[in-house]
Chains A and B, each alone.
Chain A
């Protein structure tokens, strides 16, 4: 008999109040290992609060979060790669991409005292194929939205996490950049077979690339495949929009208007 593997991420009846307001009102979801799922919802639906709770950044009122069948702890956090929306840096900080990447890798933690050549010897094999080699000398505060997302993903993959959490990853990225970004995510998912959770309100792209979608509005109001969820009345109600599925003849994927 096959033993069912434990899910990568389980959230049970999670409740969080912020400033007296109930933001999460009993969220329950379970992300299977190796799946590419999307967590969607309109502004104020609790997406970011849920993400912060999973990362141990948000106090919870009740409920349970388990990562790879373990309760939240520094050890489980080290198995998660977190990709924030953007960095808080301004241009007065000269941090280069090489230096930022070196902060993460144990072999290059003493980068302040080492030559570029010796940093690159450890760094380049770790970032091969992620398309950031040409950006290493650039100040990180001067990257475009798409370049920064690429760097942040490479950074989060350096320690080979089992789960990748991405918070509104294409917020500062233009439309062509968005497409190549999601293609990169899909390729990482395929090659590394890792669990990926995309938090987004960008429905079109999410429906195109995610295998499973959770729609959040204080609770999980519906879940399913993109094809199923787009038909769901509760999603339309949550967004207050007219969501009309139609299919590209050549791709057979639903789009959102």
Chain B
């Protein structure tokens, strides 16, 4: 397994992206940003289509540009319209998917590409992707840890954070940028449709296993790592698509955590007078 260069690249991508997705997921779930990450992921389809249409052999840069454009368009629309965020997200998600599919339809011989991006493909992780994923993941992990207190307070109460002297708008912008970059890069591994689960499920699993935020953060990091690596290996060994394998491993961890929590709360109930 480890002698195949493509498999090694995929495993390294899993090691880079799984933990940082878990870490981001703690704030994504608490700040109700799952639909946002879903929209950013779907907008990457338009990025892939445009990249290939423009003749790029590797559409990663085009994906990043389109995803970031959609993320910032959302922030702008939220500030300048009175529409609900959910409405804006639905609008941007469907429009970017429609645009992506229309551009794809004009490309000859690329129809099979859509599925690779929708569900992830370990074969699609190239050396340049790996370098970008490694650099971005390490950078964002450090940034998240550096901003941890500020992000926690913003999550608890934005006005309280502002009054405490935290530059809420800049940190919010930085978090949006970090989330967009990681979601777009993780698409290679997990696919557009399933990438949000790599953010949400480790954080939810970690919540079941933890009593406080420190435990939740460490657990989410570990569950993200174990799911991404375990799923990638299962995908190789069982010849399953990569994204669904990672999500199924992740969901298994969640089920186990749920059982542990139920058993734990059950034993507490028994102890209660």
A interface residues (Cβ-Cβ under 8 A, vs B) = 52, 55-57, 74, 77-78, 80, 82, 84, 87-96, 98-100, 103-104, 109, 111-112, 137, 139-140
Interface string of B205-235 (1 = CB under 8 A from A): 0110011111111000000000000000000
Q: A96-B212, A99-B214, A137-B211 are in contact. Are A77 and B165 (CB under 8 A)?
A: yes
Alpha-carbon separation in the docked complex, A90 to B33 (Å) = 13
Q: Would you call A139 and B212 a contact (CB within 8 A)? A: yes
The stretch of B50-58, B110-118, B148-156, B248-256 in contact with A is: B148-156
Bound-complex Cα distance A78 to B206 (A): 35
Smallest Cβ-Cβ distance to B200: which chain A residue: A92
Give the residues in chain A near B207, CB-CB below 8 Å: 91-94
Q: How far is the CA of A204 from the CA of B104 in the complex (A)?
A: 67
Alpha-carbon separation in the docked complex, A74 to B162 (Å) = 10
- Nearest-neighbour CB distance to chain B for A222, whole angstroms, equals 29
- A95 touches which one: B32, B162, B213 (CB < 8 A)? B213
Shortest Cβ distance from residue A20 to the other chain B in the assembled complex, whole angstroms: 13
A-B contact count (CB 8 A): 83
B268 at the interface (CB under 8 A from A): no
5 pairs of A and B residues whose beta carbons are closest in the complex? A93-B30, A94-B216, A96-B212, A95-B213, A92-B29
Within 8 A of A (CB), among B137-153: 145, 148-149, 152-153
B163:A99 contact, CB within 8 angstroms: no
The residue in chain A whose Cβ has the minimal distance to the Cβ of B159 is A57
> Are B159 and A100 in touch, CB under 8 angstroms?
no
Bound-state Cα–Cα, A137 to B211, Å: 8
In terms of DSSP, what is the predominant structure of the interface of chain B? helix
Contact between chains at B163 and A77 (CB < 8 Å): yes
A99 to B163, CA, bound (A): 19
B203 at the interface (CB under 8 A from A): yes
Contacts of A74 in B (CB 8 A): 165
Chain A residues with Cβ below 8 Å from B73 are none
**How many angstroms between the C-alpha atoms of A89 and B26 in the bound complex?**
12
When each residue 15-50 of chain B gets 1 if its CB lies under 8 Å from chain A and 0 otherwise, what string results? 000000000001001101000000000000000000
Establish whether residues A89 and B156, one from each chain, have CB atoms under 8 Å apart when the complex forms.
Answer: yes
Q: Which of A84, A91, A95, A98 contacts B160 (CB 8 A)?
A: A84
State the Cβ distance, A214 to closest chain B Cβ, in Å: 21
Q: How far is the CA of A92 from the CA of B33 in the complex (A)?
A: 12
